[in-house]
Each structure stands twice: as C-alpha cells, then as structure tokens.
Chains A and B, each alone.
Chain A
C-alpha cells in the first residue's frame, strides 16, 4: 500500500512570496490533515478535511493560508504572502475514516528568508 505522498520535499522562498504544497493521501482515506511542525516542536494541526469538506480550520491563519481538497482526494496548502515565522515542515496525514489512525507523509520543509 502506497503511503501519503507530498511534494515538493524542500522549498526556499523569500518573505512576501507565495508557495503551494501538494498532498496525495493513501487511496480510500476519507480524512486528510495538514500540520505545521516548527523545529523542535510537535506537529500542530492547521486544517482537517472530511472528503472534500473542511471539518476544522480553527488554527489556520486564514489571512495568509488557504487549503483545498478537490474531489475528496488530493489537497493543496497555500501560503500567500509568506512570513519568516512560516519556516517549518508542513506535514500531510490521512486516515481511513473519522477518528481513525493517522498516517503521515514525509513533509515539505519550507524555509522563508
């Protein structure tokens, strides 16, 4: 069974630029999560989708971050404009059903200079 795929793996941008990350969850997984992991900290949930609907985006900085999950499969997370404090690893995870075990992708390491 293929795992959660993410791209790109690394991205370096200047502040005020925009960036987008892509996630392909495990086939058949209905729930998809985006996490932000700052160096030395545990992952923090940004947004959660159930199929193609947003379940929880309470911790998403909506003035600069946006996310969508088209057709209930792939998802993209966008930051526009980026700030220095957005430097982190962005992790995507998926679970088969609501409340199920979460499986993480390798993450995208973002550096904002």
Chain B
C-alpha cells in the first residue's frame, strides 16, 4: 500500500517558471512532511519540511503548501533554474512512533534554459 502518492512523475519547466509537485497521504497520524532533492549518484538531501500546524512554509525560492483537510501538500519552486534539475521526493512520517519515512515515488524535474 502506497502511503504517500506523488505526482507528476516527470516535469519540464522553462527557466524562470514555477515548478509544482503534489503529494497526498492517507494516514492522519503523520505529523512531519519533508521534501528531499536528489541529484544523480547522490543521496537525498533535505530541502524543506513542514508540520501540520501551519499551512505554508517558505524558504527562499521553495515553498510548501499544506492542506490538512485534503491530506495534501505540495512543493512550489519559484523562478526555477537549470540547477534545480533533479529528482524530488516528498515524504511523511509519524515522529512519535520512530519517524519512519514513507517516501513518494519521486518527480524528475528538468528546467530548460
């Protein structure tokens, strides 16, 4: 059973455009929602994370929007740059039971110059 569903599988965006990646979860006990960025040959690196007590979190060009009632959250990359080309994974966990991460299937982002 896929605990976290992620879409789209791949995304092509022009430089300067907005990249949007969506995730949905089922377990209402999840209380931590990180986004990871992964370059080829590298391990995932934490990009930004949110907890359900806020609806939005912004760090630089990266914003997480969180909709608790819909059990959905999304990553917005503003002013997308070619260096943002990578695979992005959303994840969810329940921190009071060991913080096991359930990852989405990933989105391959390509930013065209």
Please give the residue numbers on chain A whose beta carbons come within 8 Å of chain B beta carbons, in ascending order.
4, 31, 33, 40-45, 48, 55-56, 91, 93, 95, 98-107
Contacts and interface: CB of A to CB of B under 8 A. Distances in A.
In terms of DSSP, what is the predominant structure of the interface of chain B?
mixed
A44 B46 contact: no
A78 to B, nearest CB: 20
A56 B45 contact: no
Nearest to B2: A42
Interface of B: 4, 6, 32, 34, 36, 41-46, 49, 89, 91, 95-96, 98-101, 103-106
Contacts, number: 58
Given A98-B98, A99-B96, A101-B34, A40 B106 contact: yes
Contacts of B41: 106
Given A98-B98, A102-B99, A42 B43 contact: no
B99 A42 contact: no
B100 A56 contact: yes
Nearest to B99: A99
8 contacts: A40-B106, A41-B106, A42-B105, A98-B95, A98-B99, A101-B49, A106-B41, A106-B43
